[in-house]
Structure 1
Amino acid sequence: MKFYLISLGCPKNLTNSEEFSARLLAKGHKMVFTPEQADEIIINTCGFIASAVKEAKDEIRFALDLKKKGAVKKVAVTGCLVERFKEQVAREFPEVDTVFSISAQDAVENTLKKRGVILDPLPSSLYLPEYKMSLTAPHTAYLKVADGCNNRCAYCTIPFIRGAYRSKPMKDVVREAKLMIENGVQEISLIAQDTTSYGMDLYGKPQLLELLEKLLKLKGLGRLRIMYGYPHRVTKEIARLMASTDKIFHYLDIPLQHIADPVLTRMNRHCDAAQIRRTLDMLKTEVPDISLRTNFIVGFPGETKKDFNELKKFVKEYEFDNMGVFEYFREKGTAAYAMEQVPARVKHERAAELVETQSRVIDRINKRLTGTVLEAIADGEDFGRTYKDAPDIDGKVTFTRPVKTGSIFKARVVSAEGYERELEPLNDK
C-alpha cells in the first residue's frame, strides 16, 4: 500500500503520526508525498478547539473529493477529532472508509484493513514505541514523555480527548532518546501536555529533574529542549540544572494563559499571579539568558477591561521572547462553556491589542539582541533558529553564509526586525 499522511495539530499529535507511519513502513508499505500518488490517505486530526475541528473537517472533505474523483482508493481518519466526537465523525462523513481511535494506531496495519468505526479505549500506560520515524528534519525530533492531562483547566478539552495523565517509564524515555541520538538527532524536544508533571503517576512525585539528569549522561547528546512546563511546577532545581549545562537549551515553553487572579481562578489554573511572578523571577535569576515562550487566552468568560489591562502590563513588564495569543473558544463539555461569555467583537479587539503590545516588546528585545552572540541550530544551509526558537513553533533566522545542516554553533546577530533576524556564524565547524 502507498499512503499519504496528513498530520494536524500539535507536536504531541505529530509523535503519534511518526509512530504509526513507522509501523506501516516496517511492514513494507510506502509513504508518498503527494496525495495523487497514494492508494490511501490517512488523516491524523486535531480536535482541541473549534478552528482545529474545522481544519480537520476541511482536510477530510479534500481527501474524500480525491476519492470521489478516483485519485485515491481509501480514506482513513484518526486522532483527537475521533477521540472527541467518536461515531459522529463516521455519521458526518459516511464515505470515509475507516475511522479509528488513537489506541487503534498501535495495530495500524490491521486497523486499515477494516471498514467502519474502530474505537479502542485509551491505553493506561505509555511505553517505548516499537517503531519510530521522524516527520521533521533529521537533526531535530520530539520525544513524548507523557500523554493526557489531570489539570482540568476550565477551557480545555484535552482530558476527555487524551485521558488521564500517563507518563512513559523513565528507562523507555532514556532508551528512545538514545535511539534518536544514534540516528543523528541533535535537538530533542521533550513534550507532554504538562512536562513538569512527568512521573507523578508512576513514581508518586514529579521526576522531570531526575529524567533530565539521566538524559544528560547519554553519549553524543546534542541539546535538550523543554516544552510545556507549568509555572507552579517549575522548580529552582530544574532551573539550576539548566544553568549548569550547555546541553539543555536555556529555553522554556511555559503556558500561563493569563495573569489576572479572577481569570486564573475561573480558568481553574492551579496557581495565582503571585506564584507566576515568583516562578518567572526565579527563572530569570537562576538562568539569566533564559528564553521564555508563553500563550495567553483573551476574552475568557468574565474577563473585564481591568483584567485585560493587567495582562497587557504584565506582557510589557516580562518581555517574553515568543508569545501566542488566542481568543477564547467556547467548547462543549468544558466548565467554561456555561459561563457568561465575552462578546466576539471584544475578543477580537483584545487579541489584536495584545499582539500589538507584544510587537512593541519584540522591538525592544531586538535592539538589545543586535550585536550579541547566540547559540544557533541550522535547519538548512542558510536558515535555522536560535536557542530561543523551538522547531515548528517559533521564528526562524537566516545566516550570512552557508553552514552545515544540523550543526549547532555560535553566531552574532547582524540585524533584527520583528521576527526576522540575520546571524553571522562564528564557529560552525
Structure 2
Amino acid sequence: MKTKTLRRDKVNIITLGCSKNMVDSEVLSGQLLANDIAVVHENKKLDHNIVVVNTCGFIDKAKEESINTILDQVELKRKGKLDKVYVTGCLSERYKNNLEDEIPEVDAFFGTMELPLILKQFEADYKTELVGERLLATPQHYAYLKISEGCNRTCSFCAIPLMRGKHQSRSIDDLVREAEGLVRKGVKEVMLIAQELTYYGLDIYKKRALPELLHRLADVQGLEWIRLHYAYPSKFPLEILDVMRERDNICNYLDMPLQHASNNMLKAMKRQITREEMEELVASIRERVPGICLRTTLIAGFPGETQEDVEELKGFLERMRFDRVGIFTYSHEEGTSAHDLVDDVPAEEKERRAQEIMEVQQEISYEKNQEKIGQVFKVLVDKKEAGRYLGRTEFDSVEVDNEVVVHSDRKLLPGNFYHVKITKAYDYDLEGEVVEV
C-alpha cells in the first residue's frame, strides 16, 4: 500500500504592477522565510504548491492582467498542481467582494495592509523585529526603498488613495536602518519610491522632511546611488535639489509625473498647478542642478481632451526637452472624481494620441543621446544577456529608462561600476566600451 509523502509547503509569489507592490512582496517573503516557510518569486520550476498573487488595480490593462493571472493559477489548482491560491494587493483591496463572488476557487483575498492576516493562513507569526527586512526579488545590487504609503492628493483620475489609503510616512531612523541592512546584503543603489515623495514627513514631523532623509541616507557607507521617483510638482520643495547637488551619491535624476501640459486638462485633473508654473519649476530645477535628468509621465485621452490640448502638450515637450517620458492612456476608474465625467475619447483615439506624443519625445531622446557620443559615464552593469553586458548610467532607472550595451575584452561583474565611453547612440539606448580612467 502506497502512503502519500507529506511535502513541505513552498510558496510562489507573483507580483504585478509597480515597484511599491514589489516591495510588499519582498516583505511578505521575508516574513515567510523567518517563519521557516520556503518562498520564491516568480518561480519557473513550478515546484511550489501555494501561490500568492500580488495584484495591481491601477488602470484597466493592469486589472485585466491581474484577473488573467488569478484565473491561470486557479486553473492550475483545478488540475491538482496547486493546493492553495491566495490573492492580495490593490485589485483585491478595491474589489474584494466582487472577486470573492466571481472567483470562489481562490482560497482567500486580502487587502494592501493585511500582511498579518496573510501570515495567519500559514500559521505564521508577524515578526515586528523584522520590520525593514525583506527577501529581495531584484538583483542584489539594487533595491527599492518605500518611504511612505498612500497619498493625500486628490487627482481626479487616480484610484490609488482608494486602494492605499492616506499618506503615511515611515520614520527616518527606520529607513536609514533598512538602507544599512540593504547595503550589508550587497545593495549599491536604492530607488526611493512613494506615491508622492515630496509629501514625506508632513504627517509625522509636521514638515517636509525629504531633504533631511536624503542627507541621512547619503551618509550610509557603501550606498553609491540614491535615486528619486515620483515627485509631485505643485509646491515642489526646491531644497531637495540643494541636497542632490551637495551629495555625490544622490543621482542627478528626478522622476516627476506631470500628466499633461494643457491648463484645461491640468484643471480637470485637479493637479493644482498650471503649465506656466510647471515651466518655471523645470527651469528652476535645471538651474539648481545643471545636467539633471528629468523624467515625467503623461496621460493621453482624459475626458474632454481635444486635439488642441494634444498640440499644446507636444509644444510643451518640444520646449522642455525632457530626458525621459512615459505615457499612459486614460483609464476611467470607478470611485474617482473623473468617473463623473463622460469618457468621450475612444480607445483607438487615445492610443493614436499617445503615439503622436511619443513620436515627439522619441526625436528629442535621439538628439539627446547623440550628444553623449564620445563622453565617458560611470555605468552600473546590471546583467549579461545574449552575450552582451547591459548597464545604466546615473541618468537611467531600472526597466523604464535607457540601457547601455557595454563592450569589453575582459569579464565584467554585474553589480560593479565601470567607466564606459559611448560609441553609438539610438532613440532610447546607448553603446559603449569600458575604458580606464
Query: TM-score surpassing 0.5?
Result: yes
State the match for 2:79 in structure 1: 69
Of residues 102, 110, 124, the one that matches 2:112 is 102
The answer to whether the Cα contact below 8 Å between 1:4 and 1:35 also exists between their aligned partners in 2 is: no
**Pair 1:378-2:385 in alignment:** no
The residue type equivalent to 2:15 in the other structure is: S
Specify which of 290, 293, 301 is matched with residue 292 of structure 2.
290
Of the three residues 382, 390, 396, the one matched with 2:403 is 396
Query: Corresponding residue for 2:23?
Result: 15
Q: Secondary structure at the match of 2:223?
A: coil
The residue number in structure 1 matching 2:355 is 352
Residues 127 and 169 in structure 1, CA contact (< 8 A), matched pair in contact too: no
Q: Which residue of 2 aligns with 1:407?
A: 416
Instruction: For residues 120-156 of structure 1, give each alpha carbon's deviation from its aligned partner in whole angstroms, at most 9, with x where no partner exists.
Output: xxxxxx9972531210010000000001001110000
Q: After alignment, is 2-11 or 400-409 more displaced?
A: 400-409
Structure 2 vs 1, CA of residues 101 and 397 (structure 1 numbering), >3 Å: closer, same or farther?
Answer: same
Deviation at 1:84, TM superposition (A): 0.6
Contact 1:20/1:106 (8 A) holds in 2: no
Secondary structure of 1:282 counterpart: helix
What SS does the corresponding residue of 2:325 show, helix, strand or coil?
Answer: strand
| Residue 135 (structure 2) aligns with | 133
Q: Secondary structure at the match of 2:261?
A: coil
Correspondence list, 1:151-162, <5 A: 151-162=153-164
Q: Which moved more, 1:393-402 or 1:85-94?
A: 393-402
- 1:34 and 1:278, CA in 2 relative to 1: closer, same or farther beyond 3 A? same
The alpha-carbon distance between structure 1 residues 239 and 25, as it changes in their structure 2 partners (threshold 3 A), is: same
SS in 1 for 2:234: helix
Q: Under a length normalisation based on structure 1, what TM-score does the superposition of the two structures give?
A: 0.93
The one of 197, 203, 212 aligned to 2:199: 197
Q: CA deviation at 1:52?
A: 0.8
Cα distance, 1:35 vs structure 2: 6.3
Equivalence map 1:51-70=2 (5 Å): 51-70=61-80
Residue 337 of structure 1 is aligned with which of 312, 336, 339? 339
Taking structure 2 as the reference length, what is the TM-score of the superposition? 0.92
Aligned amino acid, residue 44 of structure 1: N
Query: Match of 2:4?
Result: none
* Aligned position for 1:123: none
Q: After the TM superposition, which residues 22-421 of structure 1 pair with which residues of structure 2 at under 5 Å, given as runs? A: 22-32=30-40, 33-34=43-44, 36-112=46-122, 129=131, 131-344=133-346, 345-381=348-384, 382-401=389-408, 402-421=411-430
CA contact (8 A) 1:76 1:112 kept: no
Q: Tell me the number of residue pairs that the alignment of Structure 1 and Structure 2 aligns.
A: 417
For residue 413 of structure 1, report the CA deviation from its aligned partner.
1.2
| Contact map agreement 1:43 1:78 (CA 8 A) in 2 | yes
Structure 1 residue ranges without an equivalent (≥5): 115-125
Aligned 8 A contact 2:234 2:271 in 1: no
Distance in 2 (CA, whole Å) between partners of 1:307 and 1:102 is: 36
8 Å Cα contact 2:366/2:428 also seen in 1: no
1:197-224, CA deviations, whole angstroms, 9 ceiling, x for partnerless residues?
1101111121100111111122222110
User: 1-side partners of 2:363 and 2:231: how far apart?
Assistant: 26
Q: Structure 1 stretch 242-251 or stretch 372-381: which is displaced more?
A: 372-381
Amino acid at match of 1:89: L
Decide which moves more: 231-240 or 6-15. 231-240
SS at the partner of 2:383?
Answer: coil
- AA aligned opposite 1:24: L
RMSD of Structure 2 on Structure 1 (CA): 1.8
**Which moves more between the two structures, 274-283 or 149-158?**
274-283
Change (3 A) 1:361 1:403: same
Instruction: After TM superposition, give the deviation of residue 79 of structure 1 in Å.
Output: 0.5
Q: Deviations over 1:335-363 (max 9, x none)?
A: 11121333213322211101111111112
Secondary structure at the counterpart of residue 93 of structure 2? helix
Matching residue's letter, 1:421: L
Structure 1 counterpart of 2:5: none
| Residue 10 of structure 2 is aligned to residue 2 of structure 1 | yes
Provide the secondary structure at the position in 2 that maps to 1:86: helix
Deviates more, 1:172-181 or 1:127-136: 127-136
Separation of aligned partners in 2, 1:410 and 1:364: 22
Residues 73-118 of structure 1 deviation map (CA, whole Å, 9 limit, x = unaligned):
111100001111122111111000121222221353313459xxxx
Report the more deviating stretch, 105-114 or 318-327. Answer: 105-114
Change (3 A) 1:426 1:221: same
C-alpha distance in 2 between matches for 1:127 and 1:112: 19
Query: Which residue type is aligned with residue 17 of structure 1?
Result: S
Amino acid at match of 2:299: I
Which structure 2 segments of 5+ residues have no match? 1-8
Match of 1:176, SS? helix
Q: Is the 8 A contact 2:279 2:320 kept in 1?
A: no
> Any runs of at least 4 consecutive aligned residues in structure 1 with deviations exceeding 4 A, and if so which?
none
Cα deviation, residue 233, structure 1: 4.0
Contact 1:327 1:347 (8 Å CA) reproduced: yes
What is the aligned-residue identity percentage?
36
* CA gap 1:128/1:294 in 2 versus in 1, 3 angstroms: farther
Q: How far off its partner does 1:39 sit?
A: 1.0
Distance (Å, rounded) in 1 between the aligned partners of 2:118 and 2:235: 36
